[in-house]
């Protein structure tokens, strides 16, 4: 361990520092804005200028030991300064120099370190909501695992990695077990006006759920955590940021980020910090070394953002972030635990190398995303009482990867994992031989040999072997059978290998053993919670996979996602086509990849297995462009299908992975959709009757059950496909445009919606659209254009005799003249509007006009008249 001076240097900071040096606030603000820009390189010179401005007084030379330097202050404005840039005339940047450590403390906060003995228990908690920018949490997890692996194997460290990013999960974990070191990785934000920090957790739907700093800090009260590392941007900003909220709750050591930090810098920091902690170094020593690592090692680390851009700028930007990690420590001498214990080495017999033999891509591919499914299946299958699970989905969708991730979690919890991959080269006899010789311990192996001769049937032999495995593992054994579609009858979906059927039957009878299966097709009898139909990867995870393949597209990655239906194997086919024919345009390679996926998924063969009614159902469902519930499918009134229970037909399509299903959280029911790949293979010819029926249902769904913007857009698209163009324009002006208006999306309204609506032949609709265009241009301050549209609207409205519309338009025109200061003209239009609105009995409109007349008179100083009109209003 590193030799450190017992007495630290407390950097003397006067309370009126900012009065003495008012330039500090300006320099700190400039530095903060440079980091916030994200694409601007913060130079060493800029950091030196900041550090020299902060420097005052003197420090004790380090000599032959490390000298800790502590910034001690309870003043918010003092702690808001970037002290990690502190620059000494001789020793340069103290926060990264070998002879020093630099940390902060809040002198008024006292903490107690109630140390427990080891091993060091580390919790790596990450949050990756689907609706925020993606972080490279997989790489960070991998680097932490690498850094701590040696000490985990030796028994000095226990590491737990969670794939469930909900706040309640963190609370539950902290209550279940005492951790010494907790990593919180995700998105953080500081609200400067209200002066509080937040951390974005995942909600039960996988969306971002903000939790304020004081609420997050409560989760750690009384839990015995000694150190928290916040790998979140802006996690330490200002006094009421996340880091300081945790310090105030009594956490001895808290590491946070002063500004938004790039993935590359954050990952290097986490890896080196963990490596130093594993060597039993103090937290300040670990932070100091990790800062230096950002400066010296970051160029050798590749993250997802690097793969789609020039490496050099990314490395330079990251290297300049060495000063962003800061440490609040109330007691630098406090260790994370009592290291005086005898470690128990992890039993590595029959570990990864043998357990995962035959699982495709395990050794080379890093698991990607699928947070919601990991959350759901983790709570049910890994940590819950459910013992059997079948995962189905098309080839290349990620079944094996997800199942492997779940198996790894069980292995981490002490389960022995036994795998079998159903391929022609993997015989069942070889599997049994490996089970006996490599999994069973010697004493159980001998017992099996003795009992085997008395077994008269395969069932009895399986029963004996399973009993021995349960006794050896104390019931903690997982059987993972992969790729079962290769031994399934395509008509019945039954397994064709009788011995495997026997084993499945025997395993399912056991009360403690777990069974995990993967196949493209659902096995008969496996339904309900025992069956999980794999969803396609979301767009962010798919994009991350593209970047990991170092794939730079010459067209929108969204198109690739849609055309390949989020299929990872399709990306490999795409890359293969490009490699074979470099001269191909990427569009041709994409088409080749689709063709390869058709073959890989055996769509043609599966289609032939369907009944005529099922084929008809599959061919007509693309009338819907978005997922719909069962009622939507019934609404198509398919000939011969309705009477034959469409649910049964749908289930058969699901069983063959030809149809996709997901839960609609608004409707709280399952919704169905033909995948883009299957739809592309079908090349269906949808009748206008089906499109019209689909549009009617989508509209009904919007007005009765799902009044959301996404459903409104579905209605509009459905109406266009049904060639009900005028109805689509009317719906857009009634529903979509007002919603965009409320959201302030004026540019979208003017460029994407109103130009088409104005092509209408319906004069009343056109008059309304012109009026709306005038109002939008008025809101953005383009008065002349607004007036032109409103005058056009007024001509049409008068032509068709729409008195209510005329009164409204006259009122709207008046507001333009009012804004220009032409009060006489404004009053003229308002008086015309008032006459019409009184004539037709439009009380609400009359009130609006009277209020506008009152406002103009008040602006002109005619207060009595203004009051008179106000009273009339």
CB of 315 closer than 8 Å to CB of 148: no
Could you tell me how far CA 576 lies from the centroid of its own chain? 29
pLDDT, tens digit, 9 for 90 and up, residues 390-443: 999 988 888 988 999 899 889 888 899 999 999 888 889 989 998 998 889 988
Q: Which of 159, 146, 121, 118 is nearest to 344 (CA)?
A: 118
For domain 120-324, give the fold.
Rossmann fold (3.40.50)
Q: Is 558 helix (H, G, I), strand (E, B) or coil?
A: helix
**CA 730 to CA 706: how far, in whole Å?**
19
According to DSSP H, which parts of 201-358 are helical?
A: 213-218, 242-248, 263-278, 283-297, 311-319, 352-355
Phi and psi (nearest 5°) for 638? Answer: -65, 135
Q: Which of 259, 263, 276 is nearest to 302 (CA)?
A: 263
According to DSSP H, which parts of 332-457 are helical?
A: 352-355, 371-377, 399-412, 428-434, 442-452
Q: Which of 303, 228, 292 is nearest to 262 (CA)?
A: 303
List strand residue ranges (DSSP E) for 117-213, in order.
Answer: 120-126, 157-162, 181-185, 187-191, 196-202, 208-212
Name, in order, each residue with C-beta under 8 angstroms of 371's C-beta and a sequence gap of 6 or more.
128, 130, 163, 164, 165, 202, 206
Which helix or strand (DSSP H or E) is residue 441 part of?
A: none
CATH number 3.40.50.460 is the correct assignment for the domain at 713-872: no
For domain 352-533, give the fold.
Rossmann fold (3.40.50)
Fold match flag (120-324 vs 612-700): no
Question: What is the domain partition of the chain in residue ranges?
Answer: 9-105, 120-324, 352-533, 539-601, 612-700, 713-872
Q: Cα–Cα distances in Å, from 218 out to 62, 111, 176, 214, 319?
A: 39, 15, 15, 6, 34
Helices then strands, counting H and E runs in the chain, come out as 39, 21
Give the angle 124-125-131 at the CA atoms, nearest 5°: 140
Q: Which residues pair with 263 in a beta bridge?
A: none
Could you tell me how far CA 31 lies from the centroid of its own chain? 30
Name, in order, each residue with C-beta under 8 angstroms of 207's C-beta and a sequence gap of 6 or more.
129, 130, 131
Name, in order, each residue with C-beta under 8 angstroms of 686's C-beta and a sequence gap of 6 or more.
620, 622, 623, 721
Q: Which of 252, 254, 234 is nearest to 244 (CA)?
A: 254
Burial class (CB in 10 A: 0-12, 13-18, 19+), 778: buried
Q: What is the mean pLDDT of the chain?
A: 84
Q: Which residues pair with 197 in a beta bridge?
A: 190
Domain at 612-700, CATH class:
mainly alpha
Q: What is the pLDDT of residue 776?
A: 92
Residue numbers in the chain where pLDDT is lower than 70: 37-40, 131-139, 142, 192-194, 232-241, 298-318, 346-367, 540, 544, 547-548, 550-556, 583-585, 637-645, 864, 866-873
Q: What is the layout of strands, in order, in the sheet containing 187-191?
A: 187-191, 196-202, 208-212
Q: Cα–Cα distances in Å, from 678 out to 602, 652, 654, 660, 673?
A: 10, 15, 12, 10, 10
**CA 264 to CA 694: how far, in whole Å?**
48
Q: What is the pTM of this model?
A: 0.64
Q: In this structure, what token pair is assigned to residue 427?
A: 């015989």
Q: Cα–Cα distances in Å, from 2 out to 64, 103, 334, 392, 460?
A: 11, 17, 14, 53, 61
**CA 601 to CA 678: how far, in whole Å?**
9
Q: What is the pLDDT of residue 617?
A: 87
Q: Cα–Cα distances in Å, from 819 out to 329, 805, 866?
A: 58, 22, 18
Phi and psi (nearest 5°) for 702? Answer: -65, -50
């Amino acid at each position: 361990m590193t030799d450190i001076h017992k007495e630290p240097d407390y950097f003397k900071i006067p309370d009126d520092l900012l009065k003495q040096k008012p330039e500090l606030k300006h320099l700190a603000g400039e530095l903060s804005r440079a980091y916030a820009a994200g694409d601007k390189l913060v130079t060493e010179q800029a950091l030196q200028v900041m550090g020299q401005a902060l420097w005052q007084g003197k420090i004790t030379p380090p000599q032959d030991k490390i000298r800790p330097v502590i910034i001690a202050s309870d003043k918010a404005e003092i702690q808001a300064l970037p002290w990690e840039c502190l620059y000494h005339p001789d020793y340069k940047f103290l926060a990264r120099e070998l002879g020093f450590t630099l940390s902060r403390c809040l002198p008024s906060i006292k903490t107690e370190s109630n140390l427990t003995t080891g091993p060091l228990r580390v919790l790596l908690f990450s949050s990756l909501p689907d609706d925020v920018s993606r972080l490279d949490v997989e790489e960070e997890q991998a680097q932490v695992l690498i850094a701590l692996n040696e000490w985990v194997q030796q028994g000095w460290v226990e590491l737990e990695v969670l794939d469930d990013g909900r706040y309640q999960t963190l609370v539950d974990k902290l209550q279940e077990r005492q951790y010494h070191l907790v990593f919180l990785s995700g998105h953080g934000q500081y609200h400067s006006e209200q002066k509080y920090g937040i951390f974005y957790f995942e909600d039960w739907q996988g969306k971002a759920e903000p939790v304020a700093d004081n609420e997050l800090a409560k989760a750690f009260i009384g839990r015995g955590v000694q150190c928290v590392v916040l790998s979140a941007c802006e996690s330490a900003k200002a006094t009421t940021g996340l880091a300081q909220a945790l310090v105030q709750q009594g956490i001895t050591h808290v590491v946070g980020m002063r500004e938004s930090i790039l993935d590359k810098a954050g990952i290097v920091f986490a890896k080196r910090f963990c490596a130093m902690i594993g060597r039993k170094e103090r937290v300040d020593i670990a932070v100091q070394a990790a800062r230096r690592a950002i400066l010296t090692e970051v160029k050798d680390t590749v993250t997802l953002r690097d793969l789609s851009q020039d490496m050099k700028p990314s490395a330079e930007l990251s290297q300049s972030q060495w000063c962003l990690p800061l440490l609040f420590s109330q007691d630098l001498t406090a260790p994370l635990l009592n290291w005086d214990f005898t470690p128990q080495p992890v039993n590595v017999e029959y570990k990864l190398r043998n357990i995962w033999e035959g699982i495709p891509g395990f050794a080379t591919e890093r698991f990607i995303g699928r947070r919601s499914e990991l959350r759901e299946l983790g709570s049910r299958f890994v940590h819950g009482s459910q013992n059997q699970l079948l995962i189905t989905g098309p080839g290349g969708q990620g079944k094996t990867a997800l199942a492997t991730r779940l198996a790894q979690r069980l292995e981490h919890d002490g389960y022995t994992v036994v795998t079998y991959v159903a391929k022609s080269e993997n015989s069942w006899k070889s599997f049994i031989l490996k089970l006996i010789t490599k999994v069973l311990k010697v004493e159980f192996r001998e017992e099996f040999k003795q009992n085997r001769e008395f077994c008269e049937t395969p069932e009895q032999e399986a029963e004996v072997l399973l009993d021995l495995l349960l006794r050896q593992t104390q019931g903690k054994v997982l059987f993972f059978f992969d790729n079962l579609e290769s031994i399934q009858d395509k008509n019945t979906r039954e397994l064709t290998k009788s011995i495997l059927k026997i084993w499945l039957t025997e395993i399912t009878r056991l009360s403690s053993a777990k069974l995990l299966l993967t196949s493209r097709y659902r096995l008969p009898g496996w339904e309900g919670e025992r069956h999980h139909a794999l969803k396609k990867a979301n767009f962010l995870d798919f994009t991350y996979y593209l970047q990991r393949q170092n794939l730079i597209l010459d067209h929108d990655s969204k198109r690739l996602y849609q055309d390949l239906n989020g299929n990872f194997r399709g990306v490999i086919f795409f890359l293969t086509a490009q490699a074979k024919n470099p001269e191909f345009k990427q569009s041709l390679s994409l088409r080749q990849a689709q063709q390869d996926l058709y073959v890989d998924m055996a769509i043609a063969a599966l289609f032939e297995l369907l009944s005529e009614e099922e084929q008809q159902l599959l061919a007509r469902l693309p009338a819907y462009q978005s997922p719909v519930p069962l009622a939507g499918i019934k609404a198509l009134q398919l000939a011969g299908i309705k009477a034959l229970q469409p649910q049964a037909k749908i289930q058969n399509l699901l069983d063959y992975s030809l149809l996709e299903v997901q839960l609609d959280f608004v409707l709280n029911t399952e919704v169905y959709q033909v995948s883009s790949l299957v739809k592309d293979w079908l090349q269906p010819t949808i009748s206008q009757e089906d499109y019209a029926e689909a549009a009617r249902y989508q509209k009904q769904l919007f007005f009765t059950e799902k009044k959301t913007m996404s459903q409104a857009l579905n209605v509009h698209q459905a109406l266009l496909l049904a060639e009900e163009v005028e109805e689509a324009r009317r719906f857009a002006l009634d529903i979509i445009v007002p919603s965009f208006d409320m959201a302030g999306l004026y540019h979208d309204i003017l460029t994407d919606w109103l130009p088409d609506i104005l092509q209408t032949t319906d004069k009343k609709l056109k008059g309304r659209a012109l009026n709306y265009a005038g109002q939008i241009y008025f809101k953005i301050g383009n008065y002349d254009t607004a007036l032109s549209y409103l005058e056009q609207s007024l001509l049409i409205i008068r032509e068709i005799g729409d008195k209510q519309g005329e009164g409204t338009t006259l009122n709207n025109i008046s507001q333009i003249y009012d804004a220009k200061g032409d009060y006489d003209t404004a009053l003229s239009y308002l008086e015309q509007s008032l006459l019409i609105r009184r004539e037709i009995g439009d009380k609400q409109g009359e009130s609006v006009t009277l209020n506008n007349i009152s406002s103009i008179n008040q602006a002109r100083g005619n207060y009595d008249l203004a009051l008179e009109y106000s009273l009339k209003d």
